[in-house]
Amino acid sequence: MTTETPSHYDHLEQMSVHDLLTNINAEDKTVPMAVERSMPQIETLVPEIVKRMKLGGRLIYIGAGTSGRLGVVDASECPPTFGVPFELVIGLMAGGDGAIRKAVEFAEDDAEQAWKDMAPYEPREHDTVIGIAASGRTPYVIGGLQEARKAGLLTGCIVCNEGSAVAKAAEFPIEVVVGPEFLTGSTRMKAGTAQKLVLNMISTSVMIQLGKVKGNKMVDMQLTNIKLQDRAAKMVMSELGVDRAEAKSLLDKFGNVRGAIEGYASR
């Protein structure tokens, strides 16, 4: 597994801060290229997800450790960004929500637990399960994908090694091979960055395909703080040519940018 092979650098403790930062940055620069090489796999998966979500399906991420946390982060950001229900994109990780902050020992080694964690959400045929595992050998993820596939759900994965057990368990594997980590085996670094980039690509492109974006604007975003309220007002002002007072009045009435724009047009 390339994620476990020795770093290209040694004697890290003897490096200056400048050299540490420079060398970490040099390794990080290779990640987007690795993601680019996996683009055909990503491009194959996204339309399949969209097809199922248009039929009422959901997107479910499963993972452990850093990989699991990244899935939870991506899922949790979809409702405020795109105005979708919280149960449309679901992030599950080995050890439960408590493991987001504090690692749960051996939680990732239970091959049956992921499907049990999905059970309360009543998985159905149009759902998609994406397993996230840098190593590609996490039992929690392998077992979850296998059970999901047996149940007729669409399955994909994001891994950072070629030919892994996780990839074999998924119908649509995405393999982003980033090579050795700067700190040997620390997959929260390049592998984690690669996974985050791919998750951004998947969820954002899916939501755009589902009509949750207008132009390049997040017209369905939730207006949960002053910054977002200000951003929304600017969107409405730009789109409709109204002043801030009227934009704010429209937002107060309709609740989001899309509603404000469509409500104004239908007057």
The predicted pLDDT at position 266 comes to 80
Mean pLDDT for the stretch of residues 102-128: 94
CB 256 within 8 A of CB 82: no
pLDDT band at 104 (very low <50, low <70, confident <90, very high): confident
Q: Which of 48, 77, 171, 246 does the annotation list as catalytic? A: 77
The predicted pLDDT at position 168 comes to 98
Single pTM value for the model: 0.94
Q: Which residue has the higher pLDDT, 210 or 267?
A: 210
pLDDT band at 119 (very low <50, low <70, confident <90, very high): very high
With a CB cutoff of 8 Å and minimum separation 6, the contacts of 26 are none
Residue 47 has pLDDT above 80, yes or no: yes
- What is the rounded distance in angstroms from the CA atom of residue 39 to the CA atom of residue 265? 39
pLDDT band at 194 (very low <50, low <70, confident <90, very high): very high
What is the average pLDDT value for the chain, to the nearest integer?
Answer: 96
The predicted pLDDT at position 160 comes to 98
Mean pLDDT for the stretch of residues 95-112: 91
125 is catalytic: no
List, for residues 141-188, the tens digit of each pLDDT value.
999 999 999 999 999 999 999 999 999 999 999 999 999 999 999 999
The predicted pLDDT at position 153 comes to 98
- Read off the tokens for 149: 């596939």
- Read off the tokens for 144: 């979850």
pLDDT band at 105 (very low <50, low <70, confident <90, very high): confident
112 is catalytic: no
Q: What are phi and psi of 242, to 5 degrees?
A: -105, 170
- What is the rounded distance in angstroms from the CA atom of residue 55 to the CA atom of residue 35? 29
- What is the rounded distance in angstroms from the CA atom of residue 205 to the CA atom of residue 210? 9
The predicted pLDDT at position 140 comes to 98
List, for residues 208-251, the tens digit of each pLDDT value.
999 999 999 999 999 999 999 999 999 999 999 999 999 999 99
Longest dimension (CA), the chain: 69
Residue 196 has pLDDT above 80, yes or no: yes
CB 161 within 8 A of CB 3: yes
- Nearest residue to 85 via CA among 126, 57, 118: 57
- What is the rounded distance in angstroms from the CA atom of residue 219 to the CA atom of residue 116? 36
Q: Which of 108, 147, 181, 239 does the annotation list as catalytic? A: 108
The predicted pLDDT at position 67 comes to 97
